[in-house]
């Protein structure tokens, strides 16, 4: 592997020695050795690993053997258990409900929050009917503690009639407290008994931000080994060229955008998708933008439907044929166009189509975050301004430019762990669990259209990563693709 290494945010310590990571096949062999009577120490020596690692693997024996039985690739290094998408949805909804209660001055305790989350989860499960594969969700105390950390919630104590003195009764966002500073004061005045715990979030409450960083300069000579590392990442998802495929299999991408003012942006996105390797690139734009975009390239398929009274039906005809949708380049901020884009996002979600949201699509999301919240097949690609807008919508406070990594992580979490790519000198990417920093050097010019090239390319890569499957992307297709 290349220069990628894991360092805690802000750490200046020396790089850690790389751990030996065993794949599933090796782990099963190790377990068999233990079963045959060898001691943990002997097995550790055999595999050059610590005895504690051997014990840890032994503890996971059941899961490892089950994974093998379920035909997980034996070269897999981690047991990847995808997060329950319903749980992500429930957590986002619960977070907003808590904020809403806070705004209205309604104290909620951990019991009420847990009850609310459970009822939301059960509701989703019930709606899925008999075929539901959702697990039972108990909204346990452990879940509540993680939920608080995930959404950076902190606690206030309510004393007097409302609750006993020591009872933790409300968990609210620290930023909410800044947004609605009057609320706690009002409550104190009305009930005379409310005390706020220090609102400053205790650093121990915030999960450690693990950052993976990779950089590659185009202005320096590189060793073949360095370049091999980069190419390997890319090779992992690029579908092989063969004579056995038919037109369209390597990617049918739809770009939603293009209006009277902006015809370049959707063109850049659509043509970069084609140049990267998509088979077909469609543009859904307004009637007056269509002839202009068509005239740029005969390779694009252009649909002048975005301002039609029948956008829904027109787009619905095409959606089943598309692998990814890119929403926003050159969309503009006309209400009708935004409303139509909203309809397309909703329909894409129903069909499970990966969606990349950029430019004015992000403007729309900043107005209505619930539109995309919890849809983990979405990738948002905000530039600095777009990121600030989204962040302020979600947290009612400005971005802390000294702690961008954490801000990107938090935004992703608040949106239900979808992938956020904050563009800039270094691109910061997070799915709410990890933060990847990409400092590959690009052009030093900052001309318009570079973001459009990125969103179009991501449209194709998202499809390819999805096709490649979790094994080739370590279980995280979208975040790896964005990297």
Ligand X SMILES: NC(=O)C1=CN([C@@H]2O[C@H](COP(=O)(O)OP(=O)(O)OC[C@H]3O[C@@H](n4cnc5c(N)ncnc54)[C@H](O)[C@@H]3O)[C@@H](O)[C@H]2O)[C@@H](O)CC1
Ligand Y SMILES: Nc1ncnc2c1ncn2[C@@H]1O[C@H](COP(=O)(O)OP(=O)(O)OP(=O)(O)O)[C@@H](O)[C@H]1O
Q: Which residues are annotated as a binding site for (6S)-NADPHX?
A: 330, 383-389, 452
Residue whose CB is less far from ligand X, 183 or 430? 430
| Token pair for 275 | 């140049």
Which residue among 67, 194, 265, 460 contacts ligand X (CB under 6 A)? 265
Q: Cα–Cα distance between 454 and 272 in angstroms, integer?
A: 8
Residue whose CB is less far from ligand Y, 87 or 454? 454
Residue whose CB is less far from ligand X, 124 or 420? 420
Q: In sequence order, which residues have a C-beta less than 8 Å from that of residue 221 and are 6 or more positions away?
A: none
* Partner that binds at residue 330, options ligand Y, ligand X, none, CB closer than 5 to 8 Å by kind: ligand X
Which residue among 331, 357, 380, 454 contacts ligand X (CB under 6 A)? 331
Which residue among 359, 372, 414, 437 contacts ligand Y (CB under 6 A)? 359
∠ CA 166-170-174 to the nearest 5 degrees? 120
* Partner that binds at residue 139, options ligand X, ligand Y, none, CB closer than 5 to 8 Å by kind: none
Q: What are phi and psi of 445, to 5 degrees?
A: -85, 150
Residue whose CB is less far from ligand X, 202 or 425? 425
* Partner that binds at residue 378, options ligand Y, ligand X, none, CB closer than 5 to 8 Å by kind: none
Residue whose CB is less far from ligand Y, 272 or 324? 272
Pairing of strands 153-158, 194-196: antiparallel
The least CB distance from residue 151 to ligand X, in Å, is: 27
Residue whose CB is less far from ligand Y, 87 or 380? 380
The least CB distance from residue 225 to ligand X, in Å, is: 34
The site string for ligand Y over 379-418 (x = CB under 6 A, - otherwise) reads ----x-----------------------------------
**Among 240, 281, 276, CA closest to 258:** 281
Q: Cα–Cα distance between 216 and 232 in angstroms, integer?
A: 14
Binding status of residue 424 toward ligand Y by CB under 6 A: yes
Q: Tell me, by CB under 6 A, how many residues bind ligand Y.
A: 14
- Residue number with the smallest Cβ distance to ligand X: 264
Q: Cα–Cα distance between 337 and 148 in angstroms, integer?
A: 37
Other CB atoms within a 10 A radius of the CB of residue 360 amount to: 25
The least CB distance from residue 436 to ligand Y, in Å, is: 13
Which residue among 91, 175, 250, 360 contacts ligand X (CB under 6 A)? 360
Q: Cα–Cα distance between 108 and 33 in angstroms, integer?
A: 53
∠ CA 405-410-415 to the nearest 5 degrees? 135
CB 415 within 8 A of CB 443: no
| Token pair for 471 | 């094994």
> Virtual CA dihedral for 332, 338, 340, 345, nearest 10 degrees?
110
| Token pair for 157 | 């104590």
The least CB distance from residue 405 to ligand X, in Å, is: 16
Binding status of residue 449 toward ligand X by CB under 6 A: yes
DSSP character at residue 202:
P
Handedness of CA 28, 31, 33, 39 (dihedral sign): positive
Other CB atoms within a 10 A radius of the CB of residue 128 amount to: 11
The least CB distance from residue 283 to ligand X, in Å, is: 12
**Among 461, 368, 353, 478, CA closest to 419:** 478
* Partner that binds at residue 241, options ligand X, ligand Y, none, CB closer than 5 to 8 Å by kind: none
- Select from 194-202, 303-311, 408-416, 442-450 the region that touches ligand Y (CB under 6 A): 442-450
Binding status of residue 452 toward ligand X by CB under 6 A: yes
Which residue among 437, 454, 468, 479 contacts ligand Y (CB under 6 A)? 454
Q: Which residues bind ligand X (CB under 6 A)?
A: 262-265, 329-332, 359-360, 383-386, 424, 448-449, 451-452
């Amino acid at each position: 592997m290349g220069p990628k290494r894991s360092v805690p945010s802000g750490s200046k310590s020396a790089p850690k020695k790389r751990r030996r990571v065993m794949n599933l096949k090796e782990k099963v062999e190790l377990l068999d050795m233990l079963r045959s009577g060898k001691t943990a120490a002997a097995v550790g020596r055999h595999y050059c690993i610590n005895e504690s690692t051997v014990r840890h693997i032994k503890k996971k024996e059941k899961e490892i053997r089950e994974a093998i039985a379920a035909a997980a690739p034996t070269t897999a290094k981690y047991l990847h258990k995808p997060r329950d998408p319903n749980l992500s949805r429930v957590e986002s909804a619960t977070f907003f409900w808590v904020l809403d209660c806070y705004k209205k001055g309604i104290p909620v305790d951990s019991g009420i929050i847990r009850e609310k989350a459970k009822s939301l989860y059960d509701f989703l499960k019930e709606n899925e009917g008999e075929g539901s594969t959702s697990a039972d969700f108990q909204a346990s105390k452990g879940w509540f503690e993680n939920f608080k950390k995930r959404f950076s919630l902190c606690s206030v104590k309510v004393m007097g009639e409302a609750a006993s003195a020591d009872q933790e009764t409300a968990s609210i966002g620290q930023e909410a407290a800044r947004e609605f500073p009057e609320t706690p004061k009002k409550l104190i005045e009305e009930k005379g008994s409310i005390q706020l715990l220090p609102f400053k979030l205790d650093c121990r409450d915030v999960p450690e931000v693990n950052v993976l960083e990779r950089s590659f300069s185009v202005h320096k000579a590189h060793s073949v080994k360095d370049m091999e590392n980069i190419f390997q990442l890319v090779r992992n998802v690029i579908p092989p060229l063969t004579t056995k495929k038919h037109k369209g299999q390597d990617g049918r991408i739809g770009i939603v955008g293009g209006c009277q003012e902006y015809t370049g942006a959707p063109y850049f996105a659509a043509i970069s998708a084609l140049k990267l390797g998509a088979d077909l690139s469609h543009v859904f734009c307004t009637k007056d933008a269509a002839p202009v975009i068509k005239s740029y390239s005969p390779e694009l398929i252009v649909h002048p439907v975005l301002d039609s009274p029948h956008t829904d039906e027109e787009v619905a005809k095409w959606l089943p044929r598309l692998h990814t949708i890119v929403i926003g380049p050159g969309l503009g901020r006309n209400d009708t166009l935004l409303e139509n884009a909203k309809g397309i996002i909703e329909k894409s979600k129903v069909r499970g189509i990966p969606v990349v949201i950029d430019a004015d699509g992000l403007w729309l999301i900043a107005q209505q975050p619930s539109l995309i919240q919890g849809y983990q097949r979405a990738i948002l690609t905000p530039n600095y301004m777009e990121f600030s807008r989204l962040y302020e919508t979600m947290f009612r406070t400005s971005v802390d430019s000294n702690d961008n990594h954490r801000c990107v992580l938090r935004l992703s979490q608040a949106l239900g762990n979808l992938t956020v790519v904050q563009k800039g000198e270094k691109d910061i990417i997070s799915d709410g669990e990890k933060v990847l920093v990409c400092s590959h050097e690009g052009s030093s010019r900052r001309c318009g259209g570079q973001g459009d090239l990125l969103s179009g390319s991501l449209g194709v890569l998202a499809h390819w990563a999805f096709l490649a499957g979790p094994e080739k992307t370590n279980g995280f297709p979208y975040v790896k693709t964005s990297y």
